Amino acid sequence: MKPKNVGITAPVGFQAAGIHCGIKKPGLLDLALCVSEVSGPIAGVFTKNCVAAAPVLLDRRHLRHRCGRAILVNSGNANACTGPQGVLSATTMARAVAEQLSVPLYQVFVGSTGVIGRTLPIDRITTAIPTLFSRLSVKGGAQAAQAILTTDLRPKTVSVQARIGGQLITIGGMAKGSGMIHPDMATMLAYFTTDAHITPSALQQALKAAADQSFNCITVDGDTSTNDTVLCLANGLAKNRVIAPRSRTSRDFERLLTEAAQTLALLICRDGEGVTKVVKVLVEGAKTVATAKRVAATIATSNLVKTALFGEDANWGRVMAAIGRSGVAINPTKVTVRFDEIGMVKQGVGLGLEAERQIARVFKQKEFTIAVHLGLGASRAHMWTTDLSYDYVRINASYRS
């Protein structure tokens, strides 16, 4: 089944809008609002960066009440490194929405993405709030998804459905973050809405699990931008039997949310800054999941590997060098490396020019898998990475101009 509406307005009882309020250049949407018909449980996962942006500080505080009604997001300015003034601005954003809805301040969540360290033009945002409310619509998911973008090329939305607890449940989502696939990613924002009837704890657990299996597989160094935020707001309007923690239905819901999150995560990868390839790095045969992840992350973040992907240069030696310097105690003579199904390294030694000729063909594909087996244990982990292209440099060398 396919829901009728797009992204965050796909579930029952959600409206959204996206408008231009004057932070970005004229004509570019820069303010998004999502409102549920009724308040409900909300879950959140945030950046681990010590220099957290003002909206993250505010959302963390509001999340203690575990109850949300609306989410307001601006693009073009990150409201980060803006000190007490920044927190005041984030609060002013939330208050403007709370007053329109006559709900407590804590039920409104805010997000910001864009340049760090510039004062947020808060007046332009508050002035635009009435217009934003007047534009709210169940068809507004697409515009909201457009309004949260920065260097993204395309808006990213998802909607999935499943029968859980006796009713059809819908999850909708939108995300931005074309830089996030990089170790020191630009901001990644992802917002999910659902009409599921679910307890706050079950929702938080499901969101954490879904983020770990999706966004955290592409955010390589952990949630590292100053603004990264993933929220999920549930309004219960599907009228299913309530989903409690650690129940069968909570596992079903978690699976559905993970599906939605992985879809957005791969959309982010494919839309990455200057990306021409998306490559899965799979590490098996590790002693622990943590070490498997560390090796995968070292390969996935290697600039030498990423430029080789861009150049379609089957330079598997750079993969070996990355494995060796990951900090994990490996035994080179046990390492196997395959590119898709083609073996290239066995017992740590290259298999010769014929194998290289074959993997050269794999490197020409838009998407493929680098599979490493460490030969040390039974644990595994994977990550998605992308190539490092001229366009990556171009976009990031001139981001603010």
Amino acid 92 reads: T
Q: Which of 397, 219, 386 is nearest to 308 (CA)?
A: 386
Does the active-site annotation cover 301? Answer: no
Work out which of 320, 342, 370, 372 binds a copy of itself, going by CB under 8 A: 320
Which residues on adjacent β-strands are paired with residue 33? 17, 72
Do 280 and 382 meet the contact criterion of CB atoms below 8 Å apart?
Answer: yes
- Between CA 250 and CA 235 the distance in angstroms is 16
Residue number with CB closer to a copy of itself (175 or 322): 322
Backbone φ and ψ of 101, nearest 5°:
-95, -10
Our finding on whether 130 is near a copy of itself (CB under 8 A) is no
Our finding on whether 303 is near a copy of itself (CB under 8 A) is yes
- Between CA 104 and CA 68 the distance in angstroms is 9
- Between CA 146 and CA 203 the distance in angstroms is 26
Name 271's Cβ contacts closer than 8 Å, sequence gap at least 6. 152, 153, 154, 156, 178
Residues of this chain, 4-23, that bind a copy of itself according to CB under 8 A: none
Distance of alpha carbon 89 from the chain centroid: 25
Work out which of 92, 133, 221, 369 binds a copy of itself, going by CB under 8 A: 221
Our finding on whether 82 is near a copy of itself (CB under 8 A) is yes
Residue number with CB closer to a copy of itself (135 or 346): 346
CB 242 → a copy of itself: shortest distance, Å? 38
Name 121's Cβ contacts closer than 8 Å, sequence gap at least 6. 22, 23, 77
Our finding on whether 51 is near a copy of itself (CB under 8 A) is yes
Our finding on whether 183 is near a copy of itself (CB under 8 A) is yes
CB 214 → a copy of itself: shortest distance, Å? 20
Our finding on whether 311 is near a copy of itself (CB under 8 A) is yes
CB 356 → a copy of itself: shortest distance, Å? 8
Our finding on whether 194 is near a copy of itself (CB under 8 A) is no
- Between CA 181 and CA 160 the distance in angstroms is 24
Residues forming the active site: 187
Under the rule (CB under 8 A), what is the footprint of a copy of itself?
48-52, 78, 80-83, 85, 115-118, 179, 182-184, 186, 221-222, 224-226, 298, 302-305, 307-308, 310-311, 313, 315-318, 320-325, 328-333, 335, 345, 347-350, 388-390, 392-394, 396-401
